[in-house]
Amino acid sequence: MALPPLLSERPPTQRRVIPIAGPIIGGILTGLALGVSEGLWALANIIMILGGVAAGFDHLGAAEGARRGLLGGTIFGIALLLTDAVSGMSREAKLPDPAILLLVVTIVAGTLLGALGGALRARTQARRAPAGAA
């Protein structure tokens, strides 16, 4: 099975939209989940963790993946906190106090998850390379 294309191989519009739209949508949905139930909040976070690794997998190597994760973690955290602030729903799970500290968590986690995804992509591509290819 072929690997999905790298973000750099996609059309220009996709290269601009994917890294921004995904974290915004994920942040909004996770922010809404915060106001619904603790279980849904936990599930949304697990899905977003997988999404962070997948976003890094769009890049070749840990450094490129980490840059994507830094951007994604920042956008995701801002979207989550803004959604929480404007939703009017009471929080069903505990956030750091003050809540803005969650942004630090999403930035660090996003960077690490993106780096992991990029490293996994590089490792997968290297393993699939024909023998003797450098």
Give the residue extent of every domain in the chain: 12-127
Burial class (CB in 10 A: 0-12, 13-18, 19+), 30: buried
Residues 6 or more apart whose CB falls under 8 angstroms from that of 10 comprise 18
User: Where in 1-134 does DSSP place strands (E)?
Assistant: none
Per-position pLDDT tens, the chain of length 134: 889 999 999 999 999 999 999 999 999 999 999 999 999 999 999 999 999 999 999 999 999 999 999 999 999 999 999 999 999 999 999 999 999 999 999 999 999 999 999 999 999 999 988 765 55
